[in-house]
A and B are shown apart, each in its own frame.
Chain A
Amino acid sequence: MRKWGIVCALAASAALSACVQTKQYADPQFTLPQGSYKLLVLRPDVHVGSLTTGGMVEPRADWTEQARTNIIAALRAQQAALGGNLTIVERRNQLPGVAEQELADVERLNFAVDQSIVLHKYLGDYLPTKRGRGLDWTLGSDAVKLGEKTGYDYALFLHAEDSVASRGRVVLGVIGLAGCIVGFCAPNVGGAEQLDYASLVDLKTGEVVWFNVVDAASQVPGIKFGELRTPEGAAQMIERLIGRMKPGQAVRRAEAVR
């Protein structure tokens, strides 16, 4: 019933198991942004904490700062290599011409859309009408208005989370309806310590054209993936998350034919 990620064949083997999974979805017609495009990165959500022996994550401002700096630098470097023009907005009031409330509304709709994508594309509760059709969600005219007001071509929503000194986390189990009504009642995916996702919205159409989740779990303390506090680790995460962006199905088929 459940499919294992490709890389997770590793998990089946020996004691030192580790598991990194990514799976991208894209609009069939999606082509990688190229040439000189303007990319808006909205309020990257970065958290790094220290996992204490009791299993608590103690938030560490200094580590989070480091990670955020590294992620942003990695993002800039990666996008520069592709020729894009990147702007990162940290606070809602930093986008000229757009009211905070407007931006908040777009983010909230994006949240609901992203939840839906994860639920229906990644967690197995697929919608038959969307099966095999790549990514079929949109933010609608509010995102298009955002693009028109600001002149950006794409918006990237980014979340990165890491806790150092890995430990298995308690499985969510059944939290009860009350917990699940709130936002997203998400299963704790194994012993995930690094969970990053990104979604790319085309601001000309409002559509979510590309989505990826990187879930890096280490079952054994000491094995770390893409440690966000180091520039290399952050670059690795960005590369895994965004760098290996593939064009949509229809485009790939067309290219294969050529």
Chain B
Amino acid sequence: MCGHCLELTRRSLLAGGGAAIAAFQTGVANARVRPADMVPLVGPGFKPTDKDEQGLWEEMDRVEEEIAGSNLLVDDPKLSGYLRELIGTVGGPAAKDFRIYLARIPDFNAMMFPTGFAVVFSGLLLRMRNEAQLAGVIAHESGHFLRRHMIRSWRDQRRKTDIFSIGAMLAGVGGAGAGVYLGDYVQLAQLGTILSLFKYSRDMESEADAMGAKLIAEAGYDPMEASNVWLQLIGEEKASAAYRGKHRQRGSLFDTHPSDDARMADLRADALELKVPGRIYDNHRARYLATLGSFRQTLLDDQVKLNDPGASEYLIETLAQDGWDGLLRFYEGEVWRLRNRKGDDIRAAQSYAAAVVYPDAPADAWRWHGITLLKAGRTGEAKAAFAKYLTMKPNAPDAAWVRQMIG
């Protein structure tokens, strides 16, 4: 029996005993880590005293400098300020020490480095349906920092390893020797692979989950959204793999975690346990979308252009659960167009036709609508669509070609 279970608090009993039930559901392998047990092991202004940890920090400083100077960073003060405020709210005691960078990379990923700087990939922003979800991921990463997982994991790996110098790993070729190593320290786009450096054990992930849930609940976000994030990610990976006819195996935040159902169950239990009756929890969806603004189109564009139709389709449908609009219909069309299988040209045409009905349809929707009409022999309508495109985007890059089509 789990020792924890005897420590049921009054609060969790008040929540309807959900916690007790959930604790048994996780099975023998892992008793759920309780959020209440998650205390930060790091306070404000932390600096390492052990030699190996100092070495790690020194390397990380260099990495951070590279990242801060990267061409791949999104240079939007509104978004940067928003993320900073967010991590300030859910970062725990170390929140004021954290730095957070947004990188223009379409992967679903976010990472926290041992020195307290976090990098969020733009792909994450695309997939978050509201602010609570984003806060959940950021808080999860903060949890790794606050519970000193990186250094623990690094030390663990010393015992059983085929990893080479940090320099080589950070140069983006994880697992290979340094070879002729020529300077530019970090390829930001490959940071996802680098984080195999910090393979967190299942226990560590459970700790971060619990800590993350606790941090966001304390800040007034609905902690249930944390488990929704993983639900969405798993769904996406399954869709992507199914399209290719193989098992889910994309490298992502959760590569090393076999038991996702258990994690989701744990997070649901955490959420039930954490909610204080009578308190209002919010997910701040409107605020999140307002902050993203026009950047959302960039995010969709980057994702769709990866040509991963399974994942992109799933993603668009998930976002459409909150309501279809011209933007989503247009990108749905783009997914079909780029997939280019038998019948996809018809599907794409239908999506473009649907998109242009909405007032928010992007200019490009009109151009592609025009091209599909042209191919269907509906020349008059095509020309009208092209004309509309040019009124919306008179200086479009392909304006010269489009004008020729209009004749």
Contacts and interface: CB of A to CB of B under 8 A. Distances in A.
Interface of A: 45, 47, 49, 52, 54-62, 64, 91-92, 100-101, 104, 107-108, 110-111, 114-115, 118, 122-123, 157, 159, 161, 163, 169-172, 175, 179, 182-189, 192, 195, 197, 213
B157 interface: yes
Counting chain A CB atoms within 10 Å of each CB, the highest count among B51, B162, B163, B182 belongs to B182
Contacts of B158: 52, 54, 56, 58
Counting chain A CB atoms within 10 Å of each CB, the highest count among B52, B159, B164 belongs to B164
Interface range on chain B: under 10, 10 to 19, 20 to 34, or 35 or more? 35 or more
A175 B184 CA distance: 20
A59 B52 CA distance: 7
Interface string B317-353: 0000000000000000000000000000000000000
B120 to A, nearest CB: 21
24 contacts: A49-B167, A54-B160, A54-B162, A55-B162, A57-B167, A59-B58, A59-B167, A61-B57, A100-B69, A107-B184, A111-B183, A122-B180, A157-B183, A161-B167, A163-B165, A175-B173, A179-B176, A182-B187, A183-B173, A183-B184, A186-B182, A188-B176, A197-B180, A213-B180
A169 B176 CA distance: 9
Contact of B55 (A49, A110, A122, A175): A49
A61 B180 contact: no
A145 B229 CA distance: 49
A62 B180 contact: no
A183 B158 CA distance: 27
Contacts of B167: 47, 49, 57, 59, 161
Counting chain B CB atoms within 10 Å of each CB, the highest count among A56, A110, A163, A189 belongs to A56
Given A92-B65, A188-B177, 12 more contacts: A49-B55, A54-B158, A55-B161, A110-B183, A114-B182, A157-B183, A169-B164, A169-B178, A182-B172, A183-B187, A188-B176, A195-B178
A104 B184 CA distance: 9
Counting chain B CB atoms within 10 Å of each CB, the highest count among A57, A110, A111 belongs to A57
B171 interface: yes
Interface in B143-157: 157
Contacts of B181: 159, 161, 186, 195
Given A45-B183, A64-B55, A91-B65, A55 B164 contact: yes
Counting chain B CB atoms within 10 Å of each CB, the highest count among A108, A184, A185 belongs to A184
A54 B189 CA distance: 29
Interface in B178-203: 178-185, 187, 189-190
Which 8 pairs from chain A and chain B are nearest by CB?
A188-B177, A186-B179, A57-B165, A59-B55, A61-B58, A111-B184, A169-B177, A61-B55
A185 B57 CA distance: 26
B180 A56 contact: no
B166 interface: yes
Counting chain A CB atoms within 10 Å of each CB, the highest count among B65, B161, B179 belongs to B179
B185 A45 contact: yes
